Structure 1
Amino acid sequence: MTTAKDIMHPGAHWITKNDTLEHAARMMRELNLGALPVGDESHDERLCGIITDRDIVVKCVAYGRSPADCRASDVIEGTPRWIDADADISDVLSEMESHRIRRLPVIENKRMVGMISEADLARHLPDRQFAEFADHVYAAG
């Protein structure tokens, strides 16, 4: 059985919901990432969202706001989705497809231990299965 932990990109670089989007963008550049988990600093890194490079552009810059003045909490929305490290890859795909998400935090013992991205899926899935995933996530509607 292939698990979430088997295919994830290990490690977790966090920002807090009070960090600026400028700080998030710099971290993304330095770490070559397109997304960062957002933690609630008052709850021992409790996952409260994920911020993407697209969020910074669409929800801040496109409105004429400065990333130096916007906080992560200004752009994160909804309840973050995640998967247990021991979950089967079929559960990973189901979670990502049903919520049409491209990145999924992996949790073990209540701590984030990694992230699964489209690139991780592309490396570990047969081409046909990855194509089906992409069809579900990118389908219009």
Structure 2
Amino acid sequence: MRARDVMTTSVISASPEMSVQETAKLLVEHSISAVPVIDADGKLIGIVSEGDLVHRVEIGTHARRRSWWLELLASSRELASEYVKEHAQTVNDLMTVDVVTVAEDTPLSEVAELLERHRIKRVPVVDNGKMAGLVSRADLVRALASDTHDKRKSFAHADVEIREAILNAMSGQRWALTRGQIIVRNGKVHLWGVIFSEEERKAVCVAAQTVPGVRQVISHLVYPLTLPSM
């Protein structure tokens, strides 16, 4: 699956001329935690999140507590940036401009990795610089929960195709069954072989369970025999 398959296309956005107070109201009214900033040409130029609105002079949260040595280490650039965040009146001055984005055809695995790596909750989807949609962590969870994306409900494959798909799923994995056998009969998968940990057993079973057409996975996997010490 790709970003276009799960993204939200009806995205609430802000303009760079919008006031900070109007933007805060937008977040509250629509129960969202961030808004992309779109210019007159429909291009994404920034994003404003709840985090950008936490330290504000209007509500008395602008004074940041730092130890004296952190205060000394803070650069003039950092202090100036904080002042702008605390006192800016328009979105143009407040927004984060270095926005992490993805394309419509970006695989969901890459989207999830970006969200995790940058510790963000959502990522804009752009097409030639213009906003096409938004993928959030919630969208990924919905995709997982949706029956329409349940691989197990796909058309049943022939046993030989199921076996081949399981082997492909394990291909290149260090925990793959190298000394074992996979037998498939009427969609039931029998796994025979030697494993060296419970984690390996689970990984092999999951590799089989996620193949379309598999009705049941029966594990006959065993640990290697250990000879008594002499």
| TM-score for both structures, normalised by structure 1 | 0.71
Give the aligned partner of residue 137 of structure 1: none
**Aligned counterpart, 2:47:** 50
List gaps (5 residues or longer) in structure 1: 127-141
Residues 59 and 82 from structure 1, CA distance in 2 versus in 1: closer, same or farther, beyond 3 angstroms? farther
Q: Which residue of 1 aligns with 2:68?
A: none
SS in 1 for 2:114: helix
> Over residues 6-42 of structure 1, what are the superposed CA-to-partner deviations in whole Å (9 max), with x where a residue is unaligned?
111222222122211111112222222211001234x
Distance 2:129 2:52 in 1: 26
Distance 2:143 2:107 in 1: 13
Is 1:22–1:68's contact at 8 Å kept on the other side of the alignment?
A: no
Aligned-partner residue type, residue 33 of structure 2: G
Structure 2 residue identity aligned to 1:6: D
The alignment's TM-score, normalised by the length of structure 2, stands at 0.46
Gaps spanning 5+ residues in structure 2: where?
A: 64-82, 146-230
Corresponding residue pairs, total: 122
2:134 corresponds to: 115
Q: Which amino acid aligns with 1:90?
A: S
Larger Rg: 2
**Identity within the alignment, %:** 29
Task: Name the CA distance, whole Å, in 2 between partners of 1:125 and 1:31.
Answer: 24
The one-character-per-residue Cα deviations of 1:37-96 (angstroms, maximum 9, x if unpaired) are: 01234xx1321211112321235542289x996211332234111111111111212222
Distance in 2 of aligned mates of 1:29 and 1:107: 25
> 1:60-75 to 2 correspondence within 5 Å?
61=59, 62-63=61-62, 70-75=89-94
Q: Is the 8 A contact 1:4 1:86 kept in 2?
A: yes
In the TM superposition, residue 97 of structure 1 has moved relative to its aligned partner by 2.2
Q: Which amino acid counterpart does residue 28 of structure 1 have in structure 2? A: L
Moved over 4 A (4+): none
User: RMSD of the TM alignment (CA)?
Assistant: 2.7
Distance 2:18 2:102 in 1: 25
Summarize the Cα distance change of 1:111–1:46 in structure 2 as closer, same or farther, 3 Å threshold.
closer
Return the structure number with greater relative CO, CA threshold 8 A, min gap 6. Answer: 1
* Alignment correspondent of 2:120: 101
Query: Could you tell me whether the CA contact under 8 Å between 1:20 and 1:68 is conserved in 2?
Result: no
